[in-house]
Structure 1
């Protein structure tokens, strides 16, 4: 006669015996001693008022009455697993908004692809804006910036220092710059494809060296790269990113372009939110891979450059 409802701890031991065939193997799977397994089975048998497990020299055989309890235990185990999955989905459910330079959009997309394979319930919004969004006012969860923040409620994590270079199509080089080298007096005669914001550091650097011809300006990196591939002029591009565009060839310079540090910035209150923390880590991993590409490209450029020419 049934005296009380079986305890889950006892049911999971019975399920383990059913799956593994012996009390010893069940105990090993659960991290319990064989005597503890036997004690739990005995307690379950007393609660149910029937014999459930018959031990033989070949292992443990479950009585017919035990199979209904095994099915009950299995269903309960599945329900617990589904509940845990649901809890995880709720934890990561929601939107992560990241604000970053246009040239890093491909990196944000790659980070989103990787992160959302594991957490499809998270939606990513990547926004490129000329202004710095107000992270204190929560206009975005994550910002990628070229300087540290001044607010005490924001956290900055260094991503790395990006090196830029000038690149052009083979056609442009053959027509306008066969030496593939820009000396101190060469900038005024060349065409440049640049950002439409004239106050950006790299553009100012070009102007300071005499650049005057800008036949194509755009705040979209993809548009600038397409224009350069079409022969419109020399384009400023991060060294690591340029490795993805074999149609463009590097131009050696008499002086290096400015290096720009970047930081990943978050509000203190959101940095531990699982979906924000997880996506930030995915973006940092993508950026780290970019830094490896940059290091390899710089090493190749140094090996190619004649002694005494530029950096």
Structure 2
């Protein structure tokens, strides 16, 4: 069996289309189709069936998938071993993350990892939703709650905290807040209620506020609204150092604790390369959260 054919099989299985696989492989859809047909002939089994949604795995294709993924891991490990970069991570890795983590934490963490591993290419995909690892939208994903189903490995990375916050310009022109009950007289910034993709993001349920006047599905947009003096929000403590003039409100009365979790394919636990990267992410995120939260608290 040709590894290159298996590589194309994996691309079609993840993209669920010939054209999508071709874009990732940098070849045309017709070539992808011919290579899939060649593999099916060699295997003596149909691996895909075309449906209205695209190319779906047959039973035989589903049985082949984990073997192809293990072959992919073995090839990546061999490439790293023979690359001449002993002790260094190499190749490409794609990390999915919620946009708050991607904007305020991962730039610094990825810089440190890249500095220590010159042959490593890191891609960060920031989306305000849950990633689909089975389609290889990412090699690993950071989430705000652990999944309850699927062939996945889950590792807690670090706790983080959120506080009520506003810009000093807003506070100077609006009534003071001395208790949570007084929040109802203020303009609140938060998630669009019907676009909250994880229960851990439903912050306002704990404040008694029921109305979000300015909403966004993006943490970064919400934080910039606060920075513009548009109102109050529940803000990641680690984002506050990036927002001059923004300070915490009622820090002794209100503070939320949440966690980041690293989600990976179950089979990837056999990959020493990905295990080492996961550990670098864990240490880097933990230290960066602690550093930024300390700055935020000193500024209050």
Band the TM-score falls in, shorter-chain normalisation:
0.5 to 0.7
Matched, 1:127 2:125: yes
Alignment check: 8 A CA contact 2:192 2:212 kept: no
Change (3 A) 1:131 1:223: closer
Matched, 1:196 2:192: yes
Alignment check: 8 A CA contact 1:136 1:154 kept: no
Q: Which of 83, 86, 99 is the equivalent residue of 2:83?
A: 86
Matched, 1:205 2:204: yes
- Could you tell me how far 1:287 is from its partner in structure 2? 1.7
The C-alpha deviation readout for 1:188-240, integer Å capped at 9, x for no partner, is 2211222335445454525861342413x223333322221211111221223
Matched, 1:234 2:229: no
Counterparts of 1:240-251 in structure 2, within 5 Å, are 240-251=238-249
- Could you tell me how far 1:153 is from its partner in structure 2? 3.3
Q: What is residue 260 of structure 1 aligned with on the other side?
A: 258
SS at match of 1:163: strand
Alignment check: 8 A CA contact 1:142 1:266 kept: yes
Cα distance in 2 for partners of 1:134, 1:190 equals 38
Structure showing greater Rg = 1
Cα distance in 2 for partners of 1:227, 1:183 equals 21
Q: Which of 97, 101, 123 is the equivalent residue of 1:100?
A: 97
Cα distance in 1 for partners of 2:271, 2:88 equals 8
- Could you tell me how far 1:166 is from its partner in structure 2? 1.3
Aligned length: 217
Matched, 1:284 2:277: no
- Could you tell me how far 1:278 is from its partner in structure 2? 3.6
Matched, 1:220 2:224: no
Cα distance in 2 for partners of 1:222, 1:130 equals 10
SS at match of 2:261: strand
Counterparts of 1:42-191 in structure 2, within 5 Å, are 86-88=83-85, 92-105=89-102, 106-151=104-149, 153-178=151-176, 180-184=177-181, 186-191=182-187
Alignment check: 8 A CA contact 1:91 1:274 kept: no
- Could you tell me how far 1:85 is from its partner in structure 2? 8.0
Structure 1 gaps of 5+ residues are 1-83, 305-311
- Could you tell me how far 1:281 is from its partner in structure 2? 2.5
- TM-score normalized by structure 2? 0.60
Change (3 A) 1:156 1:201: closer
Alignment check: 8 A CA contact 1:93 1:122 kept: yes
Change (3 A) 1:123 1:299: closer
Change (3 A) 1:288 1:163: same
Alignment check: 8 A CA contact 2:190 2:212 kept: no
Alignment check: 8 A CA contact 2:166 2:232 kept: yes
Alignment check: 8 A CA contact 1:164 1:238 kept: yes
SS at match of 1:88: coil
- Could you tell me how far 1:299 is from its partner in structure 2? 7.1
Cα distance in 2 for partners of 1:197, 1:96 equals 33
